[in-house]
Amino acid sequence: MQYTASTHATLMFRLIWLTKPSGRCFHRDHQLWVPLTLDDFEAINRCERSLPKNFNFAGDVLDQWSRKEKTGERPASPALWWVNGKEDEVKWSFGELDSLSRKAANVLTKPCGLERGDRVAVILPRIPEWWLIIVACMRTGLVFMPGTTQLTAKDILYRLRASKAKCIVASEEVIPAVESIMSECPDLKTKLLVSPHNRSGWHSFQELLQTEYYQFKEEEWDAIWYWLDLKSSDVIWNMSDTGWIKAAIGSVFSTWLQGACVFVHRMAQFDADTFLDTLTTYPVTTLCSAPTVYRMLVQKDLKRYKFKKLRHCLTGGEPLNPEVLEQWKVQTGLELYEGYGQTEVGIICANQKGQEIKPGSMGKGVLPYDVQDNPEKTAATIRGNFYVTGDRGVMDNDGYFWFVGRADDVIISSGYRIGPFEVESALIEHPAVVESAVVSSPDPIRGEVEFVQELPKTITGKIKRNVLRDREWGRT
């Protein structure tokens, strides 16, 4: 085995152009079906009624909040609140999100020529336009495929060819990668650039958004409901990159289903001091971030900070060490509610409000979800009535699940099967260790500990154990 301990890590992001919100420019087309009420959505979430045949998240959820603003049933509080730490700020009410996303929808359907069912690759950083494009896709029945701006040309090529995407929406930093593989993507017909600068061969989203005034008809869209303890008065700050499932869970569907506010800090580079200052400056009530962030935060003297309204903290994406859970609670008085899920199925297990938290556990199972597309790969994950995640874990007598590791992370040593997470949790208890990673290594005896300044990570802060494992086995 190889134990690797790290002292610090950073997350890199880049700031690009921002569209200023404009006035309302659209008519509301007549509903083709009776819209569901928020009580209906709650009943569906509890499996007390089936999903409706016709449903559009933008029209049946977001526009309900917009109508309530217009009738005075709720204040025109922000649906999206974006800051960048450089005095730039965007606040869109549900009414403004309504009108702007309709304009964006017409950009996609008119000049871009897209039709219901077409696939759209969306590769944007955490800027307001990402939310406009996502809502616009829902309004028009387009299938959006979010991706991180850290994707390589090879990554983008695979996604475009596998999905047969008709359109790509991208920011400046990925233009070279996209243009280098264009000739290998025969299905790609339209390129939409989100930038203050024009580029030959690309439509300008900025220019088109300012000129679109067409009346708009909404399409149907299937939706799934997720776990989060939110009320309409809440402000949630979800740190997930726009390319991952947690962005959809925490920054779109579950938040806006409840009429709550999505808070976004552009944060060009993760900085613990900036992060903590933001929590003391803005009325964030709900925080969701990867365990790596919490591991970094508990190294600070958190008792010096007075968070404005923080009441609920969530984490997921990788296992949460019990030591970090304990330190966070001691310093802030708040629990950390861990959740576990995958892109294919959403949230699978979660510690929910009102439940006892067992340190180190992912909580209990939640409602099941379906897997669609790619029938071959989907079939390979099905065993009878079960979806196989590829992870290993155990369940105790109370129904709590405990993460052991990925199937290929489990280590065989002297005939014993060893889950890396248990060893990592033991290592992190030492005060000199900020975080740890355990991988297999062809050691002649049992194992060794190696101390390093930082661990290789994905852009969302997950430790790249496969990189460490390949390094140990000489595969790099």
Q: What is the pLDDT of residues 233-248, one digit of tens each?
A: 999 999 988 888 888 8
Domain limits, the chain: 2-11+409-472, 38-211, 235-400
Q: Is 42 left (phi over 0), alpha (psi -120 to 50) or beta?
A: alpha
Angstrom distance (rounded) from CA 265 to CA 240: 11
The more confident residue out of 31 and 181 is: 181
Angstrom distance (rounded) from CA 452 to CA 8: 9
Q: Which class is 2-11+409-472 in CATH?
A: alpha beta
* Side chain identity at residue 352, one-letter code: Q
Q: Domain 38-211 belongs to what architecture?
A: 3-Layer(aba) Sandwich (3.40)
| Per-residue pLDDT reduced to its tens digit, 203-237 | 999 999 988 654 444 443 332 333 567 889 999 99
* Side chain identity at residue 181, one-letter code: I
pTM of the full structure: 0.77
DSSP string, 169-186: EEEGGGHHHHHHHGGG-T
Mean pLDDT of the chain: 81
At 392 the pLDDT is 82
Q: Are 462 and 317 in contact (CB under 8 A)?
A: yes
Query: At residue 17, does pLDDT exceed 50?
Result: no
At 6 the pLDDT is 36
Across residues 350-364, what is the average pLDDT?
89
Angle (deg, nearest 10), helices 128-140 and 94-109: 70
| Per-residue pLDDT reduced to its tens digit, 154-203 | 999 999 999 999 999 999 999 999 999 999 999 999 999 999 999 999 99
Residue 133 tokens read as 């494009």
Query: At residue 2, does pLDDT exceed 60?
Result: no
Angstrom distance (rounded) from CA 256 to CA 238: 13
| Per-residue pLDDT reduced to its tens digit, 385-396 | 777 888 888 899
Q: Where are the beta strands (DSSP E) in 318-383?
A: 336-342, 346-350, 361-365, 382-383
Angstrom distance (rounded) from CA 28 to CA 182: 37
At 291 the pLDDT is 87
The more confident residue out of 405 and 94 is: 94
Long-range contacts of 353-360 (CB under 8 A, 24+ apart): 353/229, 353/312, 357/325, 358/396, 358/398, 358/400, 359/322, 359/325, 359/326, 360/319, 360/320, 360/321, 360/322, 360/325, 360/402, 360/425
Angstrom distance (rounded) from CA 173 to CA 195: 10
Could you give the percent of the chain with pLDDT greater than 70?
81
The more confident residue out of 114 and 378 is: 114
Angstrom distance (rounded) from CA 123 to CA 338: 28
Residue 430 tokens read as 């030492």
Q: Which of 81-90, 171-180, 193-202, 403-412 has the lowest mean pLDDT?
A: 403-412
Q: Which class is 235-400 in CATH?
A: alpha beta
* Number of other CB atoms surrounding residue 423 within 10 Å: 18
| Per-residue pLDDT reduced to its tens digit, 56-66 | 889 888 999 99
Q: Same CATH fold, 38-211 and 2-11+409-472?
A: no
Residue 414 tokens read as 């002297």
DSSP string, 275-287: HHHHHHHS---EE
Confidence grade of residue 3 (pLDDT, cut at 50, 70, 90): very low
Residue 37 tokens read as 């009420």
